[in-house]
Amino acid sequence: MHTALFSSGKSVSDDLYKASSIPRYIAVEGPIGVGKTSLAKRLARSFNYEILLELSEENPFLERFYHDPRQMALATQLFFLFQRAQQIQDLRQDDMFEPVRVADFLMEKDRLFARQNLDNDEFSLYEKVYEHLTIDAPQPDLVIYLQAPVEILMERIQKRGIESEQLIEQQYLEKLIDAYTEFFHYYDDSTLLVVNSSDIDLVNNDEDYEQLLDFILTTRKGSRNYFNPKPSLL
């Protein structure tokens, strides 16, 4: 029997699970420093789901990219593309697309980063490589898009203290935020939940997290939704 476990200690039986609007596949997205991996891990624990994470620490070009973006962009981007394609292929082979899961990335985000980091000729090459890869990623039932202004992202990046990330420039983050904003403005492939994470702590504050969890459980399938529990602070 599948049982979804929630932070409140409640569980959902198979019958209720199937009859409810609980998403079986959740993807958490957003720019660097917004907290998508931490939220994905907490959601996976709450729902007792499998978790699929970006493996950025395995990219041997990433640190050099932060030092010299222009020189290392193509190698960095192609490594991520091959890595994510391999993750999806491995899951297919293991027949793990039936179980429920939480991921901290969308496959589409790879192209979003590529468009930001590569020049026109490099991006054309990237597109040709992408087209020749067999990438059959399933669409999530729910995409959670975390937002925060660039000042807060810079502060969070500094606070978590990953050495290579300290080289990230504010201008780069601003471009990334704009790219995410445009992408999700037109996104309609899955149910979308846009979360303003500026003044809430979804990882360490149980009240904030429980509010989001309740919102997820009442989100209508196929809709676009906004979660901003503290609008007076904006």
Number of structural domains (the chain) is 1
Alpha helices for 56-107 (secondary structure H): 62-67, 69-93
- pTM equals 0.87
Report the 3 state secondary structure along 135-191: CCCCCCCEEEEEECCHHHHHHHHHHHCCHHHHHCCHHHHHHHHHHHHHHHHHCCCCE
- Which is catalytic among the residues 104, 136, 199, 214? 104
Backbone angles phi, psi at 107, to 5 degrees: -60, -35
Instruction: Give pLDDT tens digits for 50-91.
Output: 899 999 999 999 999 999 999 999 999 999 999 988 888 877
In a domain, 141, yes or no: yes
Q: pLDDT under 70 in the chain at which residues?
A: 1-21, 92, 94-99, 134, 231-234
Q: What is the pLDDT of residues 108-119, one digit of tens each?
A: 899 999 999 999
CATH of the domain at 93: 3.40.50.300
Asked if residue 34 is part of any domain, the answer here is yes
The answer as to whether 129 is a domain residue is yes
Judge whether 4 lies within some domain: no
**Which range of residues forms the domain containing residue 20?**
9-233
Q: Residue 1: inside a domain, yes or no?
A: no
Q: Is residue 74 part of a domain?
A: yes
188 labelled catalytic: no
**Helix or strand or coil: residue 29?**
strand
Q: In this structure, is residue 152 part of a structural domain?
A: yes
